[in-house]
Structure 1
Amino acid sequence: MSFKLGLIINPWAGIGGAMALKGSDGKEVREQALAMGAIPKAQQRMREALEIILPYKKQVQIITAARDMGEALAHEMGFNVQVVYTPAHQQTEAIDSENAAYAMLDTKVDLLLFAGGDGTARNICSIVHTAMPVLGVPAGCKIHSGVYGVSPKASGRVVEKMLCGELVSVDTADVKDIDEEKFRQGKVIAKMYGEMQIPLELRYIQATKSGGKESEELVLADIADYISELMEDEYFVMGSGSTVAAVMQSLGLPNTLLGVDLVKEQQLIASDLTAQQLLDSIDNQPAKLVITLIGGQGHIFGRGNQQLSPQLIKQIGKENILLIATKTKLQALQGRPLLVDTGDAELDKSLSGFLPVITGYRDQVLYPVAAPGNE
């Protein structure tokens, strides 16, 4: 008896991430990203998930949509493929994700695996609701929903467990999305759009993000003072998030809360840089990277900071990553590791292990970092 795996790829998911466009929704944003040289990566993200189950492909029948929405990749990888929906146009839109999901309702797939971001999750949720189990492969700029694996390979591992007949619990998870226009203005306004059923494997399924800002002003001030003290004549790449924003505020510098800025000798060099602009600005010179984690979820790379490309992280070096967080924020993870999902499997492996986290003035703790699915 074959395992019927529904497969939907949003080909444009995440295309605005590395270009600092804070999302990929809408034709204009896609066209702007392409004009800036963006390369679609959703196919590669889904490929990483499907590679995990290649040894079981004789057991799998993939039910999918035509062309870049799943058919092309599944055929290329040698799966048994059935196409149940064909988009009317080469350039797909949100309605195509919805139509593909609707077509799969009738086929009674065992699991619907989709690649995209929160917008794609919304589209599929509007059709599927809790009618069948789904699992997202993270490929978007923003992932607030709890229906995604922590990485593409992690999503593949969950499917593998199901194929091997292991007991995998099913639970409901929130589907959330934010207003991208407000996001580009530095405001995170998340709204819940429903729930979907997911195969629950706690190591591999990401938690939904915690909202709100840190209220521990004194601790943040201590962290900021320590980072300021470390700043000498090298470049400092300042990542996104309120904890990093506190450092910038202590320096009296304007900050792109949801973007990446560049500082040298405690002076702002450039704001809201793209992945390529960061590489060009650093140009193999000594640099440090200041980042924090996403509250409640634990990601330090691969969620909302795709400007921090694998090339940049490798160039800066693991030893020059300054990870900052309050102990309260770490304790909220309840022992779960910090997560990396850079899109480069070898880099993710090299970042795994333990990283020092700056939790105050000259105060650090060692905390585990993992790339689930890359074991």
Structure 2
Amino acid sequence: MRRIGVVVNPVAGMGGRVGLKGTDGKVEQAVERGATPRAPDRATEAIESLARHAEADIEVLAAGGAMGADAIRATGVEPTIVYEPAADAAEPGTVEPGATTAEDTRAAVRAFVEHGVDLVVFVGGDGTAVDVATALDELGVETPMLGVPAGVKVYSSVFGVTPRDAGRIAATFERVEDREINDIDEDAYRGGEVETELRAVRPVPVAEDLQSSKQIGGGSVETLAEGFIRDIEPGTTYVLGPGSTVGEIKSRLGFEGSPLGVDVWRAAPDGVEATSYHEPASPAGEVLVRDATEADILDVLDDPAVIVVSPIGGQGFVFGRGNDQISPAVIERCDLEVVASRRKLDDLSVLRVDTDDDDLDESLRGWLQVRIGRFERRMMQVV
């Protein structure tokens, strides 16, 4: 029998769609902005996949209430509760700000190890990954860990690509390998600075559907941005995602965008100024929102509208990592333009999406053209 411990950070990812770029120390602010829990649904999705792919008997151990048991029971699986959060003030299916802490996560992991689990599955982001790794390191055990991605920032290479992938890997893995756990300072991240710090190296199940560590930076994107500027359509609203590649486009549009946030810009109805091929001018237009939340985007969105995003280097995610403000409701109202340097695409075999909407994810899968230069595009498959 395989024994798997499951712990959920119930507030992980809540800051994404409301533009907080993380939830560390910002839970109450996220709730005030209308954020709703994301992690419980992703935990349920992972457990459903775990149960579906299990080839032998599996016992699921869990922390109580919103830290695991509620989401697991929603699948019809009855977990063995080995830790009850001391401050579990949440009713099933709800989250009270500050109801659970990082120490609760570490305590749950210690309880799992005491009960001899074969794998610790956690639902959250990089901060949760650090908490789990810290507890395992302090115990001096080689128990492997595996993440179900639910946080805003997911820079570590210990996560399944999707919750379903994580569930399948947990049910079927046969061996493990050491992988990196990275984290960033969320306050610096909100200020536009990204500096990853290696926090731990832990055994993780070996599988193809584990994401790589994020690569910061990329190749030259100047010609790509020039080509984009030339193709701007008068009167069109552009939802511009985070990252240095789209940041170059924002600069060419004549404004300093939020490097790790989403900005909305609308082209003037009378079109773009004529220019030479070598020195494109900034087109006429206006910034509608800087560092927008999902609600901000929806408030100003008008037809026609285009989302402009660049896949994450090393992982290939177009949606679902670092740009949760561009929600399914936004995506469904816009056309899509994906931009990337040649170097970034050379390191990617496929592109990925993870929007929390299965039907939308399916509709986005297939082949699409990615702009890589003034005129050049490359076909890439979204899986």
TM-score (norm 2): 0.89
Deviation at 1:56, TM superposition (A): 6.0
CA distance in 1, matches of 2:318, 2:151: 16
CA distance in 1, matches of 2:352, 2:52: 26
2:148 aligned with 1:137, yes or no? yes
Deviations 1:121-161 (A, max 9, x none): 00000011362111100000100111001111111221232
CA distance in 1, matches of 2:31, 2:73: 26
2:244 aligned with 1:242, yes or no? yes
2:154 aligned with 1:154, yes or no? no
CA distance in 1, matches of 2:253, 2:318: 23
**Aligned AA (2:218):** E
2:198 aligned with 1:192, yes or no? yes
**Aligned AA (1:205):** L
2:46 aligned with 1:49, yes or no? yes
CA contact (8 A) 2:181 2:199 kept: yes
CA distance in 1, matches of 2:306, 2:365: 19
Task: Specify the SS of the correspondent of 1:342.
Answer: coil
Task: Specify the SS of the correspondent of 1:343.
Answer: coil
CA distance in 1, matches of 2:219, 2:309: 18
Show the 5 A alignment for 1:58-97.
Answer: 59-90=57-88, 91-97=99-105
- State which of 293, 309, 324 in structure 2 corresponds to 1:306: 324
Task: Specify the SS of the correspondent of 2:332.
Answer: helix
Q: Which residue of 2 aligns with 1:214?
A: 218
CA contact (8 A) 2:224 2:373 kept: yes
2:235 aligned with 1:233, yes or no? yes
CA distance in 1, matches of 2:367, 2:192: 31
**Aligned AA (1:337):** V
Deviations 1:312-363 (A, max 9, x none): 11111xxx21100011111122xx2111111111111111111100000111
Q: Which residue of 2 aligns with 1:98?
A: 106
Aligned-pair RMSD on alpha carbons? 1.4
Structure 2 residue ranges without an equivalent (≥5)? 89-98, 268-284
**Aligned AA (1:33):** A
Show the 5 A alignment for 1:173-184.
Answer: 173-184=179-190
2:346 aligned with 1:331, yes or no? yes
Deviation at 1:270, TM superposition (A): 1.3
CA contact (8 A) 2:218 2:313 kept: no
Q: Aligned in 2, Cα 1:176/1:351: closer, same or farther, shift over 3 Å? A: same
Deviations 1:165-202 (A, max 9, x none): xxx33101111100111101100011111111111112
**Aligned AA (2:260):** L
CA distance in 2, matches of 1:255, 1:70: 38
- State which of 284, 292, 295 in structure 1 corresponds to 2:313: 295
Q: Which residue of 1 aligns with 2:382?
A: 369
Task: Specify the SS of the correspondent of 2:160.
Answer: coil
Q: Which residue of 2 aligns with 1:165?
A: none
Q: Which residue of 2 aligns with 1:111?
A: 119
Task: Specify the SS of the correspondent of 1:135.
Answer: strand
CA contact (8 A) 1:61 1:79 kept: no
Structure 1 residue ranges without an equivalent (≥5)? 163-167, 371-375
Deviation at 1:92, TM superposition (A): 0.3
2:183 aligned with 1:170, yes or no? no
CA contact (8 A) 1:173 1:197 kept: yes
**Aligned AA (1:230):** D
Identity %: 36
Deviation at 1:271, TM superposition (A): 0.5
Task: Specify the SS of the correspondent of 1:367.
Answer: strand
CA contact (8 A) 1:253 1:267 kept: no
Deviations 1:20-66 (A, max 9, x none): 1011112xx10000011100110001111111133467822111111
**Aligned AA (1:339):** R
Bigger fraction of residues in helix:
1
**Aligned AA (1:132):** T
Q: Which residue of 2 aligns with 1:273?
A: 292
CA distance in 2, matches of 1:55, 1:208: 28
CA contact (8 A) 2:294 2:327 kept: yes
Q: Which residue of 1 aligns with 2:225?
A: 224
- Computing the radius of gyration over CA atoms, which structure comes out larger, 1 or 2? 2
CA contact (8 A) 1:173 1:195 kept: yes
Residues matched between the structures, number = 351
**Aligned AA (1:287):** A
